[in-house]
Amino acid sequence: VEPGASTYSGNYDEALWPNWTKGKSDADITYNVSVELIHGRWAMLGCAGAWAAEQGTGINWFQAGAICTPADCTGIHFPGEVISMAPEGSGFPNFYIQLGLSVIMMGLAEGYRGGLIDNVFPELEVGDLHPGGEHFDPLGLADKLDLDRMKIAELKHARLAMLSWLGYMSQAVATNCDNPFGIGSKTWPSFIEGAKGPYANWLDHIANPYVENVWKYTGLFQ
């Protein structure tokens, strides 16, 4: 892809993996591009959310599910909250309500995006990953910024975020299990009391970068 060109159009044979489009139809290429971007957007949200949640609540991402179970979902708290989400003893938040709302909201979003549900947003077309308009770009940034450049920047950040999330998962196993790769480990991070998440590991690293690093947990060069 030429510098400054959109990654969603143009000569894909000049991309990082030459000839990766060989044997693929335009529909296949469009599908692969859309899947990569959607996964990347989820990764960006996931990385930011896991980091912020652990920093704000002290609960790491791989143990967060334990605070909202069918038996008890009243442990949800937000950093700095003045009042609780519901009166004490009310039984709320409720696990099944949370689950139902999540399914409905995700179902509607995917239904609109994939065309399974009649679209209520006039500017949204099926398969369009950058719809814009008053509902999806209320600040009008598409008219103020170089849209193609922003698309490339988003894709680069998305790819970095996917690699970062792989790092989050690797870190959870390497720094908490009884061996750096989790192979044969009797206990996984989700079940280890006091297990460290990415934010806690980052604090350890910046406090002592020469000791708290990947080499410590792989056992190499020691």
- Annotated binding residue at 41? yes
- Annotated binding residue at 36? yes
Calculate the alpha carbon distances from 27 to 24, 32, 33 in Å: 8, 9, 10
- Annotated binding residue at 39? yes
DSSP class per residue in 90-159: S--S-HHHHHHHHHHHHHHHHHHHHTSS----TT--TT-S---HHHH-TT-HHHHS-HHHHHHHHHHHHH
- Annotated binding residue at 149? no
- Annotated binding residue at 154? yes
Contact at 8 Å (CB) between 60 and 198?
Answer: yes
Calculate the alpha carbon distances from 143 to 59, 96, 127 in Å: 40, 42, 21
- Annotated binding residue at 2? no
- Annotated binding residue at 205? yes
- Annotated binding residue at 159? yes
Given the structure tokens 């991309």, which residue do they identify?
15
Residues belonging to the binding site for chlorophyll b are 41, 110
Residues belonging to the binding site are 36, 39, 41, 110, 154, 159, 171, 205
Residues belonging to the binding site for chlorophyll a are 36, 39, 154, 159, 171, 205
